[in-house]
Structure 1
């Protein structure tokens, strides 16, 4: 059936694949109508809809036209524009025939022998032109390993080189001094916190620069670990700096550190964009003279006129919110200070090692004792009246609530709740209370003002987009309502849920969604089944894959051509071990057998001294 509309066309045809009948649909391929004759063999590639038994075709070929050898495996390339699959296959065949013998072997011979890998030339050929599925799999195994091995080689070589040449600060604090600080805390450290504390202190006492990632679920106690590290740095005669993404978060951390450090006479300063005039000049002078021990701030910390007397430790919180250059500038404010990077996005350890391959990874895997679990509900849109009643009960008890929307304004394309409309609706539903609005189009100053009003309980209900995902700690906020929750990824939902449950009162998360897909339903089920961020991230990976999970803009995770971060876990770990062992051998740096690998590292600028960050 051929339909035309507005200069475009839609062609649909019933197909049989073995005993299964389905519908194949082409867009703007009306010329195929005459070629689709009964009984003719066709090869289709496209997006499959199981519920409708429909394939939206992106590529189609007829074997009887000679482009496809019937009964054999053929590669399907990612192409665009005027490039066709036929042209691409012919070009790759010619390239392999003309240049195949020139493909050099780069993996060490002992590893090829150990894992029974195909030679590189043969592996590349079988990926493009496999005789059967088994041969294609052998080729892929070899090239996946090579891809992961070369990446890990870069990371391990960088670590080896910088461990040897980047002399760091030796912090001399003893265990007794640290224990005095820990014993004065109003709570007991968890076993995970104790383990991470020992890892960090071991690094700080070594003559090499610490470069460690501390990852932990929301509310797992990362700030306390940062405080212990900063305390150890000050007690060793150095200064510490903590950089966070927002002013209100900086103020929150400063107040927390002041409470912990006050009994020990440690001074804490605050440097943000709002600190100016005489106050700023006094703080800068105090930092330069060493009279301020610890400074908490935003990107204002990396301005040119900020100098430290002796910076010993740099801590960055929510590291993905800062660019590589910003973190590098703060690091250069001292002479090779130790660096501790914190993130509240739980990542399975293997992926963390890959995403932050030049860093040691510490993980806080348990929640502090006494923290009240967050109860999560999933309801449909037709239960909104009950949700409003729930909000009313919490607010009447003096609590506060978040309401999260996926959009700022109404969209013609998406039928989902938007923040501006919901803000009006909440003002009408709760005229006795103040309702705030927060979204990404507001200026930083406007966002800070809204969050400060919410923090001070001048605003009881905060309608927001996901800009509140990583935000200030509001202990009085006990209810998180997420509209159209199936529009969000699992990890994002978990981060949003983590905005509540910070105080002494029972907290709740309400997911409002009518999922149209199995994935949407599965997300809702996962959120109501577990509060464990690492389990949520694992399920999120299973559902979405690593590309969507990390988000290419903020993660720094490499985009591999063949390797899959979920299914190739074991290969990744093995490649890391092999690369680490190889660079630890002196022969790697001198033997002619490894010349190609050293040239690869040279090309990747590993010897330039820039941090792989």
Structure 2
């Protein structure tokens, strides 16, 4: 790294202390910061033929003034100046708001250059900028920078120009030459010049392409290095499971594994056997068979002489997992036990003692598993379901219950591959992207609110067959901000409608957890036929008899959440249905409803969701795992992200990377980001 570029901006002639203080607000401290302060868009001042310009598009035109300017005042300091402008074969109106002084400046038959918004229907240009005379040739493409405080866009352009004229030669290449050749990238000096002073659109595209790859490569190098050091410095356990027993266990399952399940099981088995600690994320759509994979992994670990733990977010989910694991593992002599906060007194003491003595092989439970009193004799495998529901701290405490046990995180939230390799870059990611044979896909319909009577008839038809239904609402109580049907109102309406025929339950986030569990239990046992709920039913609950779901105000949910909710039905042998009750106003809202009716594939939906909403909304704004990139966009540049990840992984695992002068800049970057703290760089 050239030290001159790391000097404060005050070394640039023309930038004093006052300007430096103003630039600090924009996080510009050094010459390098200023050179790499990128524009967020460009003003396009190229002259265009109006025939090619879209309605309401911004355009720059040059024409002859064809009428005397007409000035009208309306209200204090508000005016409208109109002229007729002849541009080639077009005679258009040109309007200037609140610029009355132009009346003196614009003369008949004079040539002027105007930039503004084009109204195709009215043949009118609403001007934002005007230049008396023909267009100046040096300003086809102008960069626009985001600015703060005292600094103006013109000012920042000037400062960058100063930095360039004095320090251009000091800019060093940071990407190894063979990558520049391989991907036909611009070198750093050319790319920086093209971003700040482009001559055309191609310049910008090529420069952006180079910096997107660089940003991703540097980020992925950091992730891959962390992963490498984490693996090498974590004394994991090598679990020598009995392969024949594992094969026999798989053979005894009541159904064959899908190809995707086989692939994922193999990946997990390799991890268990390796001396490094497993740190794997298992993604699988609702109903793809993650529990079976978990059962095989637990079986293998127990056969190697270790104990296993499965932690889930809610009691009812813990009970359901305990039931299904018990039925698969018990016949093979594996002792499974459930531990939740409901297990108290003598029974609790007994379980804790058996666990410490190694008499329990697999413990299933909620965060009760991470209480201080819980001691395992020999914990080898920790599985966390719906891992994003637990804090990092909770997951760490469970991991520390053993001597570096292998860790498997499971989630039914389909995270787009792009985000998974970015946010969970230090984990290995396994994906079950195939559904078990014979599983019926859920029929999804989009209906408007005025069709409610027909929908109620449809629900009743299902209930008369002995089935059950969910009705999901976005909010609990009236909100003045959002005009949304709420759970309490809908519950009253449905109780009245089905009075005496069917029992209607109500569940929402403000109920105490005992009451929530009670309502869910009644629904599971078919004592309640219709459950009105907010999104708290999103995770995990398994009621195979529920075949119908109605989602009120569906446009208020993202695609991934709608898909998660829909996955509550379709868990049994009967055909299931999901009705989206929505009247979206925006095009994006309509697009969401359309996509939901067209596909049941969670990964396809999550990719679409990412395109429509962006990564910030996907995890919620405060998700700290999302890196900030200056130019790169994880959604639109995902191919570059994948390429950079592969390149980074190869580099980190090759000995040449750690020795060759060609990679010195990249090694310095890793040192500066703290990844190589304490690491010897030979």
* CA-to-aligned-CA distance 1:352-403 (integer Å, 9 cap, x gap): 3333222222211111122222111222211100111111222233322111
SS of aligned partner of 2:595 = helix
- Kindly indicate whether the alpha-carbon contact (under 8 Å) linking 1:63 and 1:70 is maintained by their aligned counterparts in 2: no
After TM superposition, the score normalised by the length of structure 2 is 0.78
State the partner residue of 2:371: 303
Out of 312, 319, 323, the residue aligned to residue 244 of structure 1 is 312
Find the aligned partners of 2:154 and 2:326 in 1 and give their Cα distance.
68
SS of aligned partner of 1:249 = helix
1:215 positional shift:
0.9
SS of aligned partner of 1:270 = strand
1:364 aligns with 2:432: yes
State the partner residue of 1:325: 393
Question: Aligned in 2, Cα 1:99/1:476: closer, same or farther, shift over 3 Å?
Answer: farther
SS of aligned partner of 2:142 = coil
State the partner residue of 1:418: 486
State the partner residue of 1:149: 217
Question: Aligned in 2, Cα 1:53/1:247: closer, same or farther, shift over 3 Å?
Answer: farther
Q: What is the aligned residue count?
A: 584
1:94 positional shift:
4.4
* CA-to-aligned-CA distance 1:168-223 (integer Å, 9 cap, x gap): 21121233201221222222211211221112112211222222221111100001
Structure 1 segment 179-578 matched on structure 2, within 5 A? 179-432=247-500, 433-553=502-622, 556-578=625-647
Question: Aligned in 2, Cα 1:392/1:92: closer, same or farther, shift over 3 Å?
Answer: farther
- Kindly indicate whether the alpha-carbon contact (under 8 Å) linking 1:307 and 1:333 is maintained by their aligned counterparts in 2: yes
1:335 positional shift:
1.6
State the partner residue of 1:34: 98
Find the aligned partners of 1:52 and 1:259 in 2 and give their Cα distance.
73
- Kindly indicate whether the alpha-carbon contact (under 8 Å) linking 2:416 and 2:610 is maintained by their aligned counterparts in 1: no
State the partner residue of 1:7: none
- Kindly indicate whether the alpha-carbon contact (under 8 Å) linking 2:55 and 2:120 is maintained by their aligned counterparts in 1: no
SS of aligned partner of 1:292 = coil
* CA-to-aligned-CA distance 1:537-572 (integer Å, 9 cap, x gap): 233334334443444445834343322223322212
State the partner residue of 2:187: 119
Find the aligned partners of 1:362 and 1:51 in 2 and give their Cα distance.
54
- Bigger drift between 85-94 and 219-228 goes to 85-94
State the partner residue of 2:226: 158
Question: Aligned in 2, Cα 1:144/1:443: closer, same or farther, shift over 3 Å?
Answer: farther
- Kindly indicate whether the alpha-carbon contact (under 8 Å) linking 2:418 and 2:635 is maintained by their aligned counterparts in 1: no
- Bigger drift between 484-493 and 314-323 goes to 484-493
Q: Which has the larger radius of gyration?
A: 2
1:606 positional shift:
2.8
* CA-to-aligned-CA distance 1:494-513 (integer Å, 9 cap, x gap): 11110101122221111112
After TM superposition, the score normalised by the length of structure 1 is 0.86
- Bigger drift between 566-575 and 470-479 goes to 566-575
Find the aligned partners of 1:233 and 1:208 in 2 and give their Cα distance.
15
- Kindly indicate whether the alpha-carbon contact (under 8 Å) linking 2:523 and 2:531 is maintained by their aligned counterparts in 1: yes
State the partner residue of 2:142: 74
Q: Which runs of 5+ in 2 are unaligned?
A: 1-47, 59-76, 80-95, 107-111
1:350 positional shift:
4.5
- Bigger drift between 226-235 and 83-92 goes to 83-92
1:412 positional shift:
3.1
Find the aligned partners of 2:269 and 2:210 in 1 and give their Cα distance.
40
* CA-to-aligned-CA distance 1:314-346 (integer Å, 9 cap, x gap): 111111111222222222221221111111122
Q: Which runs of 5+ in 1 are unaligned?
A: 1-15
Find the aligned partners of 1:63 and 1:403 in 2 and give their Cα distance.
61
Task: Calculate the aligned-residue CA RMSD, in Å.
Answer: 3.4
- Kindly indicate whether the alpha-carbon contact (under 8 Å) linking 2:419 and 2:615 is maintained by their aligned counterparts in 1: no
Question: Aligned in 2, Cα 1:427/1:103: closer, same or farther, shift over 3 Å?
Answer: farther
Higher RCO (Cα < 8 Å, 6 or more apart): 1
Find the aligned partners of 2:677 and 2:310 in 1 and give their Cα distance.
28
Find the aligned partners of 1:122 and 1:287 in 2 and give their Cα distance.
65
1:312 positional shift:
0.6
